[in-house]
Amino acid sequence: MRKHLYQDGRPAHPADQPDNDDMDFRRCIKNLSDNPGAEIIRYGRRKKDILSLGQGEGDAPTPDFICRGAEQAMATGKTLYGPVLGHDDLRQEISNYYARIYKLALPTNRIFATSSGTTAMHLALTALLEEGDEVVAVTPIWKNLLGAVELMQAQFKEVPLRSENGIWTLDLEALFDACTKNTRILLINSPSNPTGWVMTSAEIKAVMDFARARNIWVVSDEVYGRIVYDGQRAPSFLDHATADDRLFVINSFSKSWAMTGWRLGWLVGPARAEKAIRDIALYDNMGPPTFAQYGAIEALRHGEDFISAQLDLWRGNMDYMATRLAAQDRVIFTPPESTFYGFFKIDGEEDCLAFARRLIDDVSLLLAPGCAFGRAGQGYIRLCFAVSRDRLSDALGRLERAIT
């Protein structure tokens, strides 16, 4: 209900509202919880000489062979609308990729190409959540997943991972106990941004069995599934699900193939979800960008060498970071099993948002505050090490100056 009316009783245009903050937009937008990660990025951008390792992307450009796929598509007129759930060729290529890398047979009617992992997440949540539904999320977790739940006017409940000496573990009993009759979704991101925690195959099976018995959906964000330092890929919920299980898996081209700006991802679900996801995508975004999908096909077909080279670089950076930070007695850093994030504590810096602000003010370094990933991340700081050695060294130097 608008508070301000024109004299003739018509509601005033937003521009004429004395205070339009709480009048023009849905209540759930006004009620979105704080996003300290986005806040700190806005704060840091004001500084000209800022060095940012606060966002979740590497500094390598998309490889040429991927770009050429998209360029050729553009040159041959693939610049118009395409199918809402992606071109058949891309859906087939994703299916081939699961067969080759995951040893899983997924028919294309279970694979929905989307305009980013973020879009895949929104499509899945829009398909499932009614207002007031409960989502149980394992945290710390990428904040957008929680924000998306809030946008759906649903509620999330956090189940924090445990951390001992920098090793993160899941208390399965605590997870199961957190589920009530109102729980609609179990929301899990493994490998995890920001902790690098990787759920074991046995844990995945236990959760899938539990969810199946309780008719709860699992929404599993597996965007970092290939960024693991032991083995070819992380365990997936798809390993333990039947074709009809209540499971959506979110994935993306962003991280493994250096394609964050392409805005391409995919969702895997049961075949019976195809129509619902198509309907939502139709009204929401009309499908992924056409020519970009031809770059994505090249990424899947020829991207393995690039992924290995990136992993070698990141592994080296992680070891380098561990050596540098080991010399700092206030820092407790354990190299992660996966992803390209260092998520660590600095003794005496309990207020991570204030600390992140101070890093910007004092040494022009932008890192993400742990509280941006749910309550369980409070007191931590996240550094993305998917950058050149020079930039990493520069960032660590600035951090060292700030804490000594």
Ligand X SMILES: Cc1ncc(COP(=O)(O)O)c(C=O)c1O
Residues contributing to the site for ligand X (CB under 6 A): 56, 116-118, 142, 189, 193, 221, 223, 252, 254, 260, 265
Provide the pairing of β-strand 341-346 with 331-332: antiparallel
Q: Smallest Cα–Cα separation from 140: which of 329, 322, 341, 392?
A: 341
138, containing H or E segment: strand 134-139
Q: Name the minimum Å distance from CB 260 to ligand X.
A: 5
Q: Name the minimum Å distance from CB 120 to ligand X.
A: 7
Q: Smallest Cα–Cα separation from 234: which of 343, 101, 138, 118?
A: 101
Q: Name the minimum Å distance from CB 268 to ligand X.
A: 14
Select 69 or 191, whichever has its Cβ closest to ligand X.
191
Q: Name the minimum Å distance from CB 317 to ligand X.
A: 18
Select 121 or 365, whichever has its Cβ closest to ligand X.
121
Q: How far apart are CA 330 and CA 351, in angstroms?
A: 15
Select 258 or 352, whichever has its Cβ closest to ligand X.
258
SS3 call for 119: helix
Residue number of the CB closest to ligand X reads 117
Select 154 or 292, whichever has its Cβ closest to ligand X.
292
Q: Name the minimum Å distance from CB 116 to ligand X.
A: 4
Other C-beta atoms lying within 10 Å of the C-beta of residue 96: 15
Contacts of 302 (CB under 8 A, 6+ apart): 65
Phi, psi of 402 (to 5 degrees): -70, -25
Other C-beta atoms lying within 10 Å of the C-beta of residue 9: 6
Select 40 or 403, whichever has its Cβ closest to ligand X.
40
Distance of CA 363 to the CA centre of its chain: 28
Q: Name the minimum Å distance from CB 259 to ligand X.
A: 8
Select 203 or 221, whichever has its Cβ closest to ligand X.
221
Q: Within 13 Å, how many C-alpha atoms sit on residue 398's CB side?
A: 23
Q: Name the minimum Å distance from CB 328 to ligand X.
A: 27
Q: How far apart are CA 163 and CA 40, in angstroms?
A: 25
Select 133 or 221, whichever has its Cβ closest to ligand X.
221
